[in-house]
């Protein structure tokens, strides 16, 4: 199935093969690296053409060679993405950008204006693909590389290539590539913006699917018990009754009937054991993931091989989810791969737990993957525990599934790191650098978690500080020298300061969209005015120009965000033209280089710090918005898996043991029939009672898994049935209540069942319960108990209330709680129309 040679190389560059259900983060990363690769190749070809046609300077070829080396790194990054190594791809992308940026700037300091933004690109891309610790290390590296870059570009004279290249060529390079890199920055910000929206929507949809899948499984288990073991038990009880009657009328016929009874009970026991093992395989809990998968492979109808490298034991929530993902894949292969297919499952512990599932079957078109419920369930399961699933398939090419649980996901589940990762000391040092910078920047904002208005105000205050400082210095020097351009500079700085003061008063009272728009306009005007007056400030102006688009990622809707992107690119073109074609006010000519260089270095580092902090903020927002949904999704999967284990345990310890004992009793009765027939009657009577108790126990278990009244008669009837068996007096009031979709009824049913069970445990023996159901702008319920109440903060940490939040949230509902010690409890749930 895998391509070889040039075909595989080109396929990796095109990027048609990887499919990621949900938010396609791999595809976004690859598209971005491909765009960067195109820009690098165009720049290299341009320089080579310049060398051939006009200027035979070896340094042009050297720079072109550096760009081609960078292109090689980018191709490597694309292939790392194709091999599912997203973190490694981002690191390669970052190193290639940084190394080439510093090398080119050391040769041609003029390139600082273009490459100051290029240093920022990797961290903007990494926002979507790195965890908190790794991103902080990359931000620390970005600050170090950016500082080194601006120092080299401001202090080092290079080879003076710009003196030998025509100005028209230098102007064209600047006008082409500064806006191009600004577009890449805006594209990265757009991808982060899209990821904020897409990940939240994908998590909400995934949570709803997980709840629906768990409820379908409940229904299927109840149906299997009702149509299988329950009917067999009823038939066995009837056979026992008939055998008891035959003892008096026709003892000779009782023997064969008891033999059939024994066989039927053994078959019922085996069937129940198979059902229990399908719900939760005992090998998984006893021996671990590898053994459980080998057991499943032995019973598969396709030849299946399981290879494991470095696999040990993992927390139950990890093992059960990986197991059922691979079991789902194996079932899909049996149904769809073809009877001649073979399956290979590979497990390995490499920077986390990974699995690869390959079949040699008929494959399918990639578009069909997104519509398959099996693949979507696998993706939801893995995603709920912090993993990812990617798929490679084509018609006739079989199927390859790759699942990965990163080390961070394993550690959050309680797996200790077995060895220290290489580079840990370097990463820790880089993290320390970034944390120090972030702490300083946070102190300037006077808030650890500032409101977006505070971010805007901080940026405006920074502009105000630069404007006032520059204006003061210009006025002081003007008073001594009477140079006219200094007065112009001071006037421009004063105008900017006045506009910023007005903007500061406005943005604190406006909506966030208006505040960002005002801030963006002021920022862009400031960048353009600064570049017109002082063209050497172009590197700083480029960093200032992209600040609004980075700030907008977390707060603006798509259409308005595109307006900010367009404004950013237009401003980048304007400041580039201004920096190349306006003479300025003579700041660079009249002020010593040793004064200009520190000013440029300080401004660029300031701009880089703000841009990096906004990238950090976007990562925090990306994580924060998804974290609650991710935790809810994880809790739902964990609750469903705990329920699986409990059902398997109840079946094993209850009905299954009774069936085994009944089979033994029937064989004993068969033997006694020939030797001690008088003892058979009491034994059969006891057997009949045992079978009746087992049937009742199994029926209660099935009804607890999925109440038949809910599907047959609706929510009100099912709740009234529960209320009749409640240990506390419970009343059900229903107003204008009809039938609702199954996913609505079952979730409300189990929410109220959870509340009723909690009241039975905690409200006190004298409490009473009232449940009101009504149709008003959707379906609402109110649950009241007259018990001892509780503190609200303590109640919110309980599993029961958390499960209710998760269930209602998964179907778009809300839950509110009102309780105080000694005042009972009131729950209000609402599912809007």
Q: Where are the alpha helices (DSSP H) in 763-814?
A: 792-796, 799-810
Buried b (16+ CB within 10 A) or exposed e, 622-656: beebbeebbebbbbbbbbbbebbbebbebbbebbb
User: CA angle, corner 356, sides to 355 and 362, nearest 5?
Assistant: 150
Residue 428: strand pairing partners: none
Q: What is the mean pLDDT of residues 102-106?
A: 84
**Which residue ranges form the domains of the chain, and what is each CATH number?**
1-165 (no CATH), 315-412 (3.30.565.10), 707-832 (3.30.565.10)
Give pLDDT tens digits for 601-616. 888 888 888 888 888 8
Buried b (16+ CB within 10 A) or exposed e, 256-279: ebbeebbebbbebbebbbebbbeb
Residue 785: strand pairing partners: 769, 825
Secondary structure letter of residue 19 according to DSSP: B
* Cα separation, 310 vs 31, whole angstroms: 34
What would the two tokens of residue 600 be? 């440029």
Secondary structure letter of residue 677 according to DSSP: G
pLDDT computed for residue 527 by the predictor:
86
Pairing of strands 304-309, 343-349: parallel
| Residue 655 backbone dihedrals phi, psi, to 5 degrees | -60, -40
Which residues touch 766 (CB under 8 Å, ≥6 apart)? 786
Residue 784: strand pairing partners: 770, 826
* Cα separation, 32 vs 78, whole angstroms: 10
Give pLDDT tens digits for 189-216. 887 777 767 777 777 777 777 777 777 7
| pLDDT surpasses 80 at 433 | yes
Detail the DSSP E strand segments found in 425-479. none
Query: Are 668 and 683 a contacting pair, CB within 8 Å?
Result: yes
Q: What is the mean pLDDT of residues 95-105?
A: 85
Range from 44-48, 568-572, 587-591, 792-796 that averages highest in pLDDT: 568-572
Which residues touch 581 (CB under 8 Å, ≥6 apart)? 171
* Cα separation, 457 vs 809, whole angstroms: 35
pLDDT computed for residue 21 by the predictor:
39
CB count within 10 Å of CB 821 equals: 10
Question: With bands split at pLDDT 50, 70 and 90, how would you rate the model's confidence at 508?
Answer: low
Query: Are 547 and 614 a contacting pair, CB within 8 Å?
Result: yes
CB count within 10 Å of CB 400 equals: 18
pLDDT computed for residue 356 by the predictor:
93
Buried b (16+ CB within 10 A) or exposed e, 296-309: bbeeeebebebebe
253 vs 21 pLDDT, higher one: 253
* Cα separation, 29 vs 198, whole angstroms: 15
Distances (CA, A) of 384 to 15, 211, 378, 619, 815: 27, 12, 10, 20, 22
Give me the percent of the chain exceeding a pLDDT of 90: 8
| pLDDT surpasses 80 at 315 | yes
Pairing of strands 388-393, 825-832: unpaired
Torsional sign, CA 93, 98, 103, 104: positive
* Cα separation, 748 vs 524, whole angstroms: 53
Give pLDDT tens digits for 641-681. 777 778 878 887 777 788 888 888 888 888 887 788 788 78
Give pLDDT tens digits for 541-579. 898 898 888 888 877 777 888 899 999 999 999 999 888
Secondary structure letter of residue 111 according to DSSP: G
pLDDT computed for residue 34 by the predictor:
84
pLDDT computed for residue 357 by the predictor:
94
Torsional sign, CA 314, 318, 324, 326: negative
| pLDDT surpasses 90 at 783 | yes
Average predicted confidence (pLDDT) for the chain: 80
* Cα separation, 362 vs 340, whole angstroms: 9
Pairing of strands 399-406, 769-775: unpaired
pLDDT computed for residue 2 by the predictor:
40
Query: Are 117 and 149 a contacting pair, CB within 8 Å?
Result: no
DSSP 130-183: --HHHHHHHHHHHHHHHHHHHHHHHH--TT-GGGTS-HHHHHHHHHHHHHHHHH
732 vs 233 pLDDT, higher one: 732
pLDDT computed for residue 693 by the predictor:
82
Q: What is the mean pLDDT of residues 345-358?
A: 89
* Cα separation, 238 vs 332, whole angstroms: 40
SS3 515: helix
* Cα separation, 784 vs 755, whole angstroms: 9
SS3 831: strand
* Cα separation, 22 vs 33, whole angstroms: 21
Query: Which one, of 36, 28, 155, lies nearest residue 94 by Cα?
Result: 36
pLDDT computed for residue 20 by the predictor:
43
Of 303-307, 322-326, 669-673, 744-748, the poorest mean pLDDT is in 669-673
Range from 85-89, 656-660, 709-713, 720-724 that averages highest in pLDDT: 720-724
Question: Reduced to 3 DSSP states, what percent helix, strand and coil does the chain have, rounded to the nearest 5?
Answer: 75, 10, 20
DSSP 747-775: HHHHHHHHHHHHHHHHT-TT--EEEEEEE
Of 136-150, 443-457, 521-535, the poorest mean pLDDT is in 443-457
* Cα separation, 756 vs 773, whole angstroms: 14
pLDDT computed for residue 512 by the predictor:
73
pLDDT computed for residue 370 by the predictor:
62
Give pLDDT tens digits for 5-55. 444 433 444 433 434 434 345 667 787 788 888 888 888 888 888 777 766
pLDDT computed for residue 16 by the predictor:
37
| Residue 424 backbone dihedrals phi, psi, to 5 degrees | -65, -40
Question: With bands split at pLDDT 50, 70 and 90, how would you rate the model's confidence at 769?
Answer: very high
* Cα separation, 292 vs 299, whole angstroms: 11
Q: What is the mean pLDDT of residues 359-378?
A: 77
For the chain, the farthest-separated pair of C-alpha atoms sits apart, in whole angstroms, at: 132
């Amino acid at each position: 199935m895998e391509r070889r040679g040039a075909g595989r190389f080109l396929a990796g560059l095109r990027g048609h093969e990887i499919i990621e259900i949900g938010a396609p983060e791999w595809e976004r990363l690859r598209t971005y690296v491909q765009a960067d690769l195109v820009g690098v190749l165009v720049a290299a070809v341009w320089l080579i053409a310049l060398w051939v046609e006009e200027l035979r300077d070896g340094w042009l070829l050297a720079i072109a060679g550096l760009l081609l080396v960078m292109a090689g790194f980018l191709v490597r990054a694309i292939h790392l993405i194709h091999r599912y190594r997203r973190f490694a791809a981002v690191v390669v992308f970052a190193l290639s950008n940084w190394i080439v940026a510093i090398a080119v700037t050391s040769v041609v300091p003029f390139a600082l204006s273009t490459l100051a933004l290029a240093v920022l690109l990797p961290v903007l891309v990494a926002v979507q693909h790195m965890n908190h610790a790794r991103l902080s290390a990359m931000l620390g590296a970005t600050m170090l590389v950016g500082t080194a870059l601006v120092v080299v570009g401001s202090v080092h004279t290079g080879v003076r290539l710009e003196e030998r290249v025509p100005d028209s060529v230098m102007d064209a390079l600047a006008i082409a590539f500064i806006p191009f890199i600004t577009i890449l920055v805006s594209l990265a910000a757009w991808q982060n913006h899209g990821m904020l929206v897409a990940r939240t929507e994908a998590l909400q949809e995934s949570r709803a699917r997980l709840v629906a899948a768990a409820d379908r499984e409940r229904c299927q288990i109840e149906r299997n018990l009702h149509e299988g073991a329950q009917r067999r038990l009823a038939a066995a009880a009837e056979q026992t009754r008939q055998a008891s009657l035959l003892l008096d009328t026709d003892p000779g016929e009782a023997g064969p009937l008891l033999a059939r009874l024994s066989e039927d009970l053994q078959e019922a026991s085996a069937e129940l054991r198979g059902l229990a093992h399908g719900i939760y395989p005992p090998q998984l809990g006893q021996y671990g993931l590898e053994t459980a998968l080998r057991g499943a492979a032995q019973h598969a109808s396709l030849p299946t091989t399981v290879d494991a490298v470095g696999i040990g034991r993992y927390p139950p929530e990890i093992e059960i989810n990986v197991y059922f993902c691979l079991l789902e894949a194996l079932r899909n292969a049996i149904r769809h791969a073809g009877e001649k297919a073979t399956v290979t499952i590979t497990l390995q512990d490499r920077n986390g737990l990974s699995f690869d599932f390959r079949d040699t079957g008929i494959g399918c078109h990639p578009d069909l993957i997104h519509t398959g419920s099996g693949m979507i369930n696998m993706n939801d399961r893995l995603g709920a525990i912090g993993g990812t699933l990617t798929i490679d398939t084509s018609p006739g090419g079989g199927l390859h599934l790759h699942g990965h649980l990163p080390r961070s996901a394993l550690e959050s589940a309680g797996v200790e790191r077995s060895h220290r990762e290489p580079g840990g000391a370097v990463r820790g040092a880089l993290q320390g650098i970034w944390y120090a910078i972030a702490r300083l920047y946070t102190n300037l904002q006077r808030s650890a978690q500032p409101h977006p208005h505070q971010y805007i105000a901080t940026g405006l205050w920074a502009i105000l500080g630069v404007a006032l400082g520059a204006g003061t210095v210009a006025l002081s020097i003007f008073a001594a020298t009477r140079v006219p351009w200094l007065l112009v500079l001071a006037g421009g700085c004063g105008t900017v300061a006045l506009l910023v003061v007005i903007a500061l008063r406005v943005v604190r009272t406006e909506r966030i969209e208006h505040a960002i728009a005002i801030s963006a306009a002021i920022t862009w005007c400031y960048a353009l005015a600064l570049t017109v007056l002082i063209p050497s400030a172009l590197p700083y102006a480029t960093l200032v120009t992209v600040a609004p688009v980075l700030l907008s990622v977390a707060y603006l809707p798509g259409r308005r965000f595109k307006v900010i992107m367009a404004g950013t690119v237009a401003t980048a073109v304007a400041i580039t033209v201004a920096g190349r074609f306006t003479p300025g006010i003579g700041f660079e000519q009249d002020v010593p280089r040793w004064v200009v260089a520190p000013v440029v270095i300080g401004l660029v580092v300031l701009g880089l710090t703000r841009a990096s902090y906004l990238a950090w903020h976007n990562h925090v927002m990306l994580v924060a918005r998804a974290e609650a949904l991710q935790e809810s999704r994880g809790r739902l999967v964990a609750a469903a898996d705990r329920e699986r284990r409990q059902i398997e345990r109840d079946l094993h310890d209850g009905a299954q043991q009774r069936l085994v004992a009944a089979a033994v009793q029937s064989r004993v009765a068969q033997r006694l029939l020939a030797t001690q027939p008088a003892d058979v009657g009491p034994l059969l009577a006891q057997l009949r009672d045992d079978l009746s108790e087992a049937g009742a126990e199994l029926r209660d278990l099935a009804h607890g898994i999925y109440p038949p009244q809910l599907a047959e008669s609706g929510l009100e009837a099912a709740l009234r049935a529960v209320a009749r068996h409640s240990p506390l007096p419970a009343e059900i009031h229903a107003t204008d209540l009809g039938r609702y979709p199954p996913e609505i009824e079952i979730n409300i049913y189990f929410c109220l069942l959870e509340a009723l069970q909690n009241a039975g445990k905690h409200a006190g023996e004298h409490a009473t319960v009232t449940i009101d159901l009504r149709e008003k702008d959707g379906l609402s319920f109110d649950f009241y108990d007259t018990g001892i109440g509780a503190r609200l903060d303590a109640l919110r940490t309980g599993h029961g209330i958390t499960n209710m939040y998760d269930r209602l949230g998964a179907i778009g509902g809300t839950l509110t709680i009102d309780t105080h010690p000694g005042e009972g409890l009131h729950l209000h749930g609402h599912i809007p129309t």
